[in-house]
Structure 1
Amino acid sequence: MPYILSDVWTWDMWFVDDGHEYHVFYLKASRALGDPNRRHFNVTVGHAVSDDLRGWREVSDALIASESPAFDDYTTWTGSVVRAPDGTWRMFYTGTSRAESGLVQRVGVAASDDLYTWAKSSTEALVEADATWYEKYDGVAWFDEAWRDPWVFADPDGDGWHMLVTARANQGDTDSRGVIGHATSPDLQDWTVCPPLSNPGAGFGQLEVPQIATIDGRTVLVFSCLHGELSEDRRSAGEHGGVWAVPVDSATGPYDIEKAYRLTDESLYAGRLVQDRDGAWWLFAFHHVDDSGTFIGTLSDPLPVGWAPDGRLHVSDGQFDHLA
């Protein structure tokens, strides 16, 4: 059964395995808000644990907005968790401030010894968009300043850490500026913003909740984009949104986003690839909308994924074969 909380909507999620339990962190907001569009600015980071990636037990929330003034005194949004070399855990997350009406996104970090109790490192952001390469909010080009959904992973060659970010380039057609932003760090503390790992012009206004994974020796990037954030060219061609994937040669880029294809339709969103302790890989997402377009807001069951003969990753239970 999907992970359903009767009193709250749940959406974007990220996972970590501590060797004993699987942990999922997710955005949540009260259904008493009535309008699900209000959830984004009435949000906390929830937390649940599982023995098998199927039955989940809710525990105390992980993060809430900071007291003002702070870069995250309005919202704490999507992130990722990694284990630092000293054995502690680090959660990198998106924050917005009330002073900017939530329109500018930045990344912060919190630390934990046990994955249950988290302490934010600062009221100041850890890393934000650099105008050298990335679009800054001007109230015209896009509806916000995209610098969110940090996905942090260790360099495959042992040379520090990488952060992938939902971002927008500062050039090109405004409906096709979505790129995978990039920052690097030697120690998870000091970060340097780098050029994006993909080029604008691939037909996406934004590439949300990016993740990189290596499955059976092949590396893949997944991200999500809805129909409304596709470029006019893609929409005119009849394309739709959902969870997208693109095989890549290297985890650290570059990524050819023009080759992306859909793993799911828009019934699911914000996909995450998770490996279980037996080595199998699964796709999680949140149930986005029903057939009438009504928002659902629950965590999906794990869906098996594997490589097809054509070299594409696919959901291997046949649920989305119609997308091929």
Structure 2
Amino acid sequence: MFDLPGSWVWDFWFADDGDRYHLFFLYASRALQDPDARHYRASIGHAVSTDLVEWTQVADALVRSDAPAFDDLATWTGSTLRHPDGTWFMFYTGSSLAPNGKNVQRIGYATSPDLTVWTKARGPVLEARGPWYETLESEAWQDEAFRDPWVFPDPDGDGWHMLVTARAPEGPIDGRGVIGHAWSPDLRTWELRPPLSAPSHHGFGQLEVTQVEVVDGRPVLIFSCLADQAMPSRAATRGGTWAVPAGNVLGPFDIDAAYPVTDDSFYVGRLLRRRDDGRWMLFAFHHTGTDGGFVGGVSDPMPVGWDGDRLAILDAAASDGVPMSGRSQDESPGDGMRELPTPFSA
């Protein structure tokens, strides 16, 4: 597990340079006392590991910019990947406040030759706008949700795609969460495109920290959402990280088919394929403790595989990699834990 004694650690993502794994994470000082206040004080930290278990903290990657800027309130969740020319790109969420005091989220990026020293590009490259995406003008949600960029190469070699946590301008308020989509020929200029999912009466208010991967030959989308940010039909499930079966890494994604991979004691699940043996691992941050309070800290790797048509956490001690008993949508080590009433996960 990776955690910091003086700070809350929550959302995170990885990069693999071939020798070391790099963990980028959001953190904020515990001196704030109220864990909900961490979102508006978030910086992007950095740690390295050779085994995905023992981590060494190194110099921070990014902090917020001086005002006025699209990221002058906080720097939030993103993804990191390498351009064919060797340049590392970190796409991240910039948070700022609108005149009415509501939070506005936009997507920017920074580049690095070595994953250590980062230089921000000037201004955001993407933001929410109609007709496909809800903006503050609708007044339907607590913020302008457009964050958590997940960037990956087109499977046919046609540029790059970005998945974004976004909301549709129509539909049930707690079911408007959609998979936002953008495309780029070069990672520097971006074209906003229609979402890859639709709002739903059995959906979610926000599909946070999306990721799409091909796990053991099967495409799968994962995202996170808590019960108080979803349609009532999802409340009893108490899911934290969810999965959606997919026929293609570019969807379209049927969010009605989402099922929980973890309960709400874990949040922001991330998939990573281990370099040494090719096995897929799930990481998440510890969300809710036995007292109902926020915990924080990135988990150790949890092996995952397919249990029929569902992605599931496997029993790491089992030689045949069978699904963990007691980790269904109704029974888990988190039983008896209460949800944290957090408005969003940065």
| 1:97 Cα deviation from its structure 2 partner | 1.8
Stretch of structure 1 that moved more, 96-105 or 13-22: 96-105
SS of structure 2 residue aligned to 1:289: coil
1:135-168: per-residue Cα shift (whole Å, max 9, x none)? 0113731000100000000001101000000000
1:19–1:99 CA distance, 2 compared to 1 (3 A):
same
Q: Is 2:141 aligned against 1:135?
A: no
**Aligned-pair identity (%):** 56
Q: Following the alignment from structure 1 to structure 2, what is the Cα–Cα distance between the partners of residues 83 and 246?
A: 26
> Secondary structure in 2 aligned to 1:203?
coil
Selected match of 1:322 from 309, 325, 328: 328
Structure 1 position 232, deviation (Å)? 2.7
Deviations 1:234-281 (A, max 9, x none): 33xx23230000110000110111111000001000000001112011
Q: How many residues align?
A: 319
- Give SS of 2:328's match: helix
Q: Is the 8 A contact 1:14 1:25 kept in 2?
A: yes
User: C-alpha distance in 2, partners of 1:156/1:252?
Assistant: 9
**Contact kept in structure 2, 1:75 and 1:102, CA below 8 Å:** no
Q: Does 1:247 align with 2:253?
A: no
Give the equivalent residue in structure 1 for 2:321: none
**Structure 2 residue 309 is matched with structure 1 residue 311:** yes
- Match for residue 107 of structure 2? 107
**Secondary structure in structure 2 of the residue aligned to 1:299:** coil
Q: Which runs of 5+ in 2 are unaligned?
A: 316-323, 331-346
SS in 2 for 1:32: helix
Conserved? CA contact 1:74–1:102, under 8 Å: no
The within-5 A match list for 1:80-159 is: 80-100=79-99, 101=101, 103-122=103-122, 124-138=123-137, 140-159=139-158
Could you tell me how far 1:59 is from its partner in structure 2?
A: 0.3
Q: For structure 1, list consecutive stretches of 5 or more residues without a partner in the other structure.
A: none
Distance 1:46 1:152, change over 3 A: same
What is the CA-CA distance between 1:203 and the residue it aligns to?
Answer: 1.7
SS in 1 for 2:144: coil
Q: Which letter does structure 1 place at the counterpart of 2:329?
A: L
- The aligned amino acid for 1:253 is G
User: What secondary structure does 1:252 align onto?
Assistant: coil
Matches within 5 A, 1:24-35: 24-35=23-34
One-letter identity of the residue aligned with 1:134: Y
Q: Verify the 8 A CA contact 2:238 2:329 in the aligned structure 1.
A: no
User: Could you list the runs of 4 or more consecutive aligned residues of structure 1 that deviate by over 3 angstroms after TM superposition?
Assistant: 98-102
Distance in 1 (alpha carbons) for counterparts of 2:102 and 2:185:
30
Q: In structure 1, the residue corresponding to 2:198 is in which secondary structure? A: coil
Asked if 1:63 corresponds to 2:62, the answer is yes
Tell me the CA shift for residue 43 of structure 1. 1.1
SS at structure 1 position matched to 2:256: helix
Q: How far did residue 99 of structure 1 move?
A: 4.9
TM-score, normalised on structure 1?
0.96
Per the alignment, in what secondary structure is the counterpart of residue 80 of structure 1?
A: strand
Instruction: Kindly indicate whether residue 246 of structure 2 is the aligned counterpart of residue 259 of structure 1.
Output: no
Contact 1:242 1:269 in 2 (8 A): yes
**Hey, what does 1:219 align to over in structure 2?**
219
CA distance in 1, matches of 2:113, 2:171: 44
**Contact 2:138 2:169 (C-alpha < 8 Å) held by counterparts:** no
- Corresponding residue SS for 1:38: helix
CA deviation map 1:87-140 (0-9, x unaligned): 110000000124554611100000000001100011x21111121111011373
> d(CA) in 2 for partners of 1:19 and 1:311?
32
Q: Please name the residue that 1:180 is paired with.
A: 179
Cα contact 1:230–1:241 (8 A) shared by 2: no
Q: Aligned AA for 1:293?
A: G
* Partner Cα distance (1:182, 1:262) in 2: 23
Separation in structure 1 between the aligned mates of residue 309 and residue 272 of structure 2, nearest angstrom: 20
In 2: Cα distance, 1:282 partner to 1:320 partner: 19
What is residue 208 of structure 1 aligned with on the other side?
A: 208
Confirm whether residue 165 of structure 1 aligns to residue 172 of structure 2.
no
User: Which residue identity is paired with 1:107?
Assistant: I
> C-alpha displacement at 1:319, in angstroms?
6.2
